[in-house]
Amino acid sequence: MTKFNVVREVRELKNQLSYAKRFGFFFGAGTSCALGVPNIAALTTKVENALDENYKIDFIKIKSDLESTHSEKSINIEDVLNQVRQIRSITGEREDKNYLEICGKSARKLDNEICKKIYSIISESESGADLSKTKRFLAWLNMQNKDFTKEIFTTNYDLIIEKSLEEIRVPYFDGFVGSYEPFFLQESIERFVDKSDLTQNWIRLWKIHGSLNWFWKDNTTSSHSIVRGSKITN
């Protein structure tokens, strides 16, 4: 077994950061797991167990079908959700059209129910998380006076980073603009931030797999859009 020298790696990281002009940090599931938030495998099991019987039957049906098609990988909640939304798309969410004996109307309800369970499970687990180390790291990152923006990339849905940043009053940008119902602005993340931009020293937070407080909004005049909520109660 290869041994991992933590002290040596930390010293190397410290040396890299001391002269690097531009750097970002990538947080995977392990960073949230360390704070008690379930990883994708545990979340998949928890959601399946939490669903009511009618929803659970359709959930297992879709999961089993995916497992039979993709035997080389472990099917998780994201795979199931993607398939549910495929069913919604190909059936037009109609009750008289179905796939795997699941009609479009049922697929829409299942989609909503899965998302509610994900939100409930993750919110409950993160509510008891100790954010002291997260806040300490983010405070250090905020103090770095660099010529480039400071970026954080994460695959996690939870709001631990957002909560930590706001508790220590550190400004950040996550691609959303507006105040009443912030919407995702693609152009804002593609534009280079130069020294004349007042937000240059803001931390950039990029949530690759989405977030608990992001929602699809159906628009009557155009296609749906992604909006961000604040404290979600329903």
User: Residue 73: how many CB atoms within 10 A of its CB?
Assistant: 9
CA distance 171 to 166: 7
Domain extent at residue 72 = 40-127
Q: Is the pLDDT of residue 181 over 90?
A: no
**Which of 127, 160, 175 is a domain's end point?**
127
What is the band of 217 on the pLDDT scale with cuts at 50, 70, 90?
Answer: confident
pLDDT at 126 over 60: yes
* C-alpha count within 13 angstroms, C-beta hemisphere, residue 229: 12
Whole-number Å distance between alpha carbons of 85 and 87: 5
Asked if residue 233 belongs to a domain, the reply is no
Q: Which of 98-102, 114-118, 144-148 has the lowest mean pLDDT?
A: 144-148
Cβ proximity of 203 and 151 under 8 Å: yes
CB 57 within 8 A of CB 100: no
Is pLDDT above 80 for 122?
yes
Task: Record the tokens describing residue 15, joined without a space.
Answer: 């040396």
45 or 179, which is more confident:
45
Q: Do residues 138 and 224 both lie within one domain?
A: yes
Place of tokens 């938030």: 37
How many domains, the chain? 2
Confidence of residue 5 (pLDDT cuts 50, 70, 90): confident
Q: What's the average model confidence in pLDDT over 77-99?
A: 95
234 pLDDT exceeds 60? Answer: no
Which one of 101, 127, 153 terminates a domain? 127
Residue 178 lies in a domain: yes
Of 221, 220, 214, 222, nearest in space to 181 by CA: 214
The angle subtended at Cα 156 by Cα 144 and Cα 74, nearest 5°, is 140
Mean pLDDT, residues 140-162: 88
Residue 1 resides in a domain: no
CA-CA distance, 40 to 74, in Å (whole number)?
Answer: 11
Check whether 53 has a pLDDT greater than 60.
Answer: yes
The yes-or-no verdict on residue 230 having pLDDT over 80 is no
The DSSP output letter for 21 is S
pLDDT recorded at residue 191? 72
Q: Strand 172-173 relative to strand 225-228: parallel, antiparallel, unpaired?
A: unpaired
Strand partners, 147: none
Residue pair 136/7 in contact (Cβ under 8 Å)? The answer is no
Q: Where are the alpha helices (DSSP H) in 102-167?
A: 104-127, 132-143, 160-167
Same domain, 138 and 57: no
